[in-house]
Amino acid sequence: MSEGQLPFSAVVGLDEPKLALVLNAVDRGIGGVLLRGQKGSAKSTLARGLAALLPGQAPFVELPIGATEDRLVGTLDLAAALTGGEYRFAPGLLAAADGGVLYIDEINLLPDHLVDVLLDVAASGINRVEREGISHVHSSRFVLIGSMNPEEGDLRPQLLDRFGLAVDVRASLDPATRAAAVRGRLAFDADPEGVATTLADGEAELAGRLARARPAVLPDEMVEAIVALCSAVGAEGLRADLTICRAAAALAGWEGRSTATETDVRRVAPLALAHRARRDPLEPAGLDQERLAQALDEHLSEGAGGERPPADPGPAMRPPAPVAGPADRRHSPNAAGRRVPSEAPRGRLVGDRAPDGPIGSVAVGATVRRAAARVSAAPGQPRVGPEDLRQAVRVQRTASLIVLAVDASGSMGAPQRMEAAKGAVLGLLTDAYQHRDLVALVAFGGDDATVLLRPTGSVEVAQARLAQLPTGGRTPLAAGLSTALAVATAPVRAATHRPLLVVITDGRATAGPPGVDPLEAASAAADEARRAGVEAVVIDVEDTGRSAGQPALGLARELAARMGARHLRLSDLTPAALQLSVRTALG
């Protein structure tokens, strides 16, 4: 155990995450664990603690968010190629993790193509590298642990489904448990060696038990019950079925029993189904516990072989006093949510070419091969010359940043107008989730505009902020446009996301900077948006809730013309037509 590392058995109040990790150590075919929780909830502490329990000083490898595909899978040994003209493989992090734990914090922020590679290797236990003149195969069997904060956006549904188990990591609300956690953490920080020594026997017992554990037998009738259960809760594909089968067998083996029972299935089913249950991103996260309980009772009521396991979950799940740690989304794989790969400065390497100007990204392997071949033919030449350089061809899935600017002034208080506006925003949030876009939310009303939500991939958070949106006061249209434009053009997102302004308003402007006519201020802000070259859509809500005899002012149409934006009348749009219009604006 590394210095300063809190022992696995010392973490208090996180029984489900610990169980999920242990089961994956017993059977790595389960497919990894996704830990979902806010920062400071002991996710990395548990991951490191599990590695310390694995036999043979198992490695703990952490994948940084900025890692390249070369760093992950391995690549050409540049030193050998340049100094001796020898083409050989330089191992990456997947080789370093063999036999241990591979941990990825904030995995939801990792590029999709790297997550694809990780999950493929985790499932097969083999890393196959065919790139840059290298053909290599090596073993890569590890416990895959990903962690993430759901408020920063979720994994793409197809990737989320491939994690065997997922569990929410939350600090306990029980005062006694929290007090024990705080006291334990303080004790460990004051004397880590002393605490580690105190817990050494318990850690050794856990490590020995883990080394001996083997998956138990799963009777055929239990397999049939699991399949019926997964079908009843609407799990698509067979991954949930296979995961529950493996996890139930691993749990029985971990607890020293030769045959898995229905109680094992009941304990692991929520861990395998929770992240596969949601069909729509705006549905509540997690699994409907009542529905699951009903399905379990219906399909496991008769059981299958074996005695019920003891109620005690075992030493790994019991908190040894007094030390503690720190305090589906599913859519059809054929949905329109897949982004189109396009050439980009960063991303997956797909080839190389002769440079046609300044080189932004060097294809290192191709460059070295050309240099080595030239030096071999004419000794004494420079190792790498300008004629050897090759431009890397990389592709990256394009993404967008949709900044929603919502008029929350008193003029939006007309019957049904704000509800219609919120309905339009919810439709756009669903579309953004399917396309893996970021969304931001700006509201303007009273005397100013407020950024209610910075760019995020979490539609749940956006939905919650939208639900709390109040209406009233004057209409500071200029402030709303300027604030939304600032969010859309912030340098931190400019290189990776194409911005789109979606302004939902009736076009009125009744508030502006001191001494400036509100309409003139709004016109100036619209001109600024046009000069910035940001694509924009104005969704006109004036007709929504307008009485038959009330004349239309057409202010939103004039605003759209001034901004160079598309003008859409909400009253004319179906949700599908609105989403299509937004996608068209994004090209």
List phi, psi (to 5°) of 493: -110, -10
Residues 329/154, Cβ–Cβ less than 8 Å: yes
Q: Looking at residue 384, what is its pLDDT?
A: 66
Question: How many Cα atoms occupy the beta-carbon half-sphere of 317 within 13 Å?
Answer: 15
Q: Looking at residue 314, what is its pLDDT?
A: 46
Burial class (CB in 10 A: 0-12, 13-18, 19+), 379: exposed
Q: Which one of the listed residues 28, 36, 185, 239 is annotated catalytic? A: 239
Amino acid type, 536: A
Q: Name the DSSP letter for residue 5.
A: P
**CA pair distance 132, 76, nearest whole angstrom:** 7
**CA pair distance 239, 436, nearest whole angstrom:** 23
- Which tens digit of pLDDT belongs to each residue from 80-139? 665 666 677 889 999 999 999 999 988 887 877 788 888 889 888 899 988 766 788 999
State the DSSP H helix or E strand holding residue 450, giving kind and residue range, or none if neither: strand 448-456
Instruction: Decide if 131 is catalytic.
Output: no
- The two three-digit tokens of residue 106, written as one number: 């904030």
DSSP of 502-529: EEEE-------STTS-HHHHHHHHHHHH
- Which tens digit of pLDDT belongs to each residue from 438-467? 888 898 988 889 888 888 777 777 777 777
- The two three-digit tokens of residue 445, written as one number: 């009303």
b/e map 298-319, b = 16+ CB within 10 Å: ebbeeebebeebeeebbebeeb
Q: Looking at residue 376, what is its pLDDT?
A: 63
Q: Looking at residue 326, what is its pLDDT?
A: 35
**Angle 194-200-203 (CA atoms, 0-180°, nearest 5)?**
135
Residues 17/167, Cβ–Cβ less than 8 Å: yes
DSSP of 244-312: HHHHHHHHHHHTT-SB--HHHHHHHHHHHHGGG--SSTTSPSS--HHHHHHHHHHHHTT--SSPPPPSS
Cβ neighbours for 210, distance < 8 A, ≥ 6 positions apart: 22, 25, 26, 53, 54, 55, 254
**CA pair distance 531, 240, nearest whole angstrom:** 51
Q: Looking at residue 305, what is its pLDDT?
A: 42
**CA pair distance 476, 445, nearest whole angstrom:** 6
**CA pair distance 136, 359, nearest whole angstrom:** 29
Q: At what angle do helices 15-26 and 262-273 cross, to 10 degrees?
A: 100
What are the per-10-residue average pLDDT scores of the chain (587 residues)?
73 90 93 85 88 90 85 78 69 93 88 83 88 82 89 72 88 84 86 88 92 94 91 84 95 95 92 76 60 80 45 44 36 38 58 70 69 64 66 68 85 66 76 77 88 80 75 87 92 75 89 90 94 90 67 86 90 72 73
Amino acid type, 414: A
**Residue carrying structure tokens 């209610």:** 452
**CA pair distance 522, 535, nearest whole angstrom:** 18
Helix, strand, coil abundance in the chain, percent, nearest 5: 45, 20, 35
b/e map 9-18, b = 16+ CB within 10 Å: bbbbbbebbb
List phi, psi (to 5°) of 393: -105, 115
